[in-house]
Amino acid sequence: MSTGPAQYADAHRAEFLDLLCRLVTQPSVSAQGLGVPECAELLASMMRELGIKATVLPTSGFPVVFGSAPGPEDALTVLIYGHYDVQPPEPYDAWFSPPFEPTVRDGRLYGRGAADNKGQLLAHVLAVGSYLATGTPLPVNVKFLFEGEEESGSPNLEEFVAQNLGLLRCDLVVTSDGPMHDTGRPIVFFGVRGSLYVELIARGACRDLHSGHYGGIAPNPAFELCRLIATMKRPDGKVAVEGFYENVVAPTAYERELMSRIPLDEEALKEDLGVGRLASVGDLSHYERLMFEPTLNVCGLAAGYQGPGSKTIIPARASAKIDMRLVANQDPKDILDKVIRHVRRHSPDVEVVQRGWATAPSKTSPSLPLSIEVVEAVRRASPAEPVVYPSLGASMPDYIFTRVLGVPSIGVPLGNPDEHNHSPNENFRLEEFYRGIGTSLAIISRLGAAAS
Ligand SMILES: [Zn+2]
How far is the centre of ligand 1, averaged over its atoms, from the C-alpha of 232 (Å)? Answer: 33
The DSSP result for 429-447, as a single string, is EHHHHHHHHHHHHHHHHHH
Q: Is the pLDDT of residue 280 over 90?
A: no
How far is the centre of ligand 1, averaged over its atoms, from the C-alpha of 417 (Å)? Answer: 14
How much is the pLDDT for 356? 86
How far is the centre of ligand 1, averaged over its atoms, from the C-alpha of 40 (Å)? Answer: 17
Q: With bands split at pLDDT 50, 70 and 90, how would you rate the model's confidence at 277?
A: very high
How far is the centre of ligand 1, averaged over its atoms, from the C-alpha of 421 (Å)? Answer: 6
The DSSP result for 277-346, as a single string, is S----TT--HHHHHHT--EEEEEEEEES--SSS---EE-SEEEEEEEEEE-TT--HHHHHHHHHHHHHHH
User: How far is 99 from 102, CA to CA, in rounded Å?
Assistant: 7
Bridge partners for 358 per DSSP: none
3-state secondary structure 226-249: HHHHHCCECCCCCECCCCCCCCCC
Residue 87 burial (CB count, 10 A)? 20
How much is the pLDDT for 450? 84
How far is the centre of ligand 1, averaged over its atoms, from the C-alpha of 116 (Å)? Answer: 5
How far is the centre of ligand 1, averaged over its atoms, from the C-alpha of 275 (Å)? Answer: 29
Strands across the sheet containing 108-110: 103-105, 108-110, 427-429
Buried b (16+ CB within 10 A) or exposed e, 124-147: bbbbbbbbbbeebebbbbbbbbbb
Mean pLDDT of the chain: 96
Nearest CA among 5, 29, 26, 12 for reference residue 422: 29
How far is the centre of ligand 1, averaged over its atoms, from the C-alpha of 325 (Å)? Answer: 20
How much is the pLDDT for 63? 98
Calculate what percentage of the chain has a pLDDT beyond 70.
99
How much is the pLDDT for 281? 81
Phi-psi region of 315 (alpha: psi -120 to 50; beta: other; left: phi over 0): beta
Note the pLDDT tens digit of each residue in 138-187. Answer: 999 999 999 999 999 999 999 999 999 999 999 999 999 999 999 999 99
- pTM, whole model, 2 decimals? 0.93
Average pLDDT over residues 28-47: 98
Helices (H), 134-198: 157-163
Q: Is the pLDDT of residue 325 over 70?
A: yes
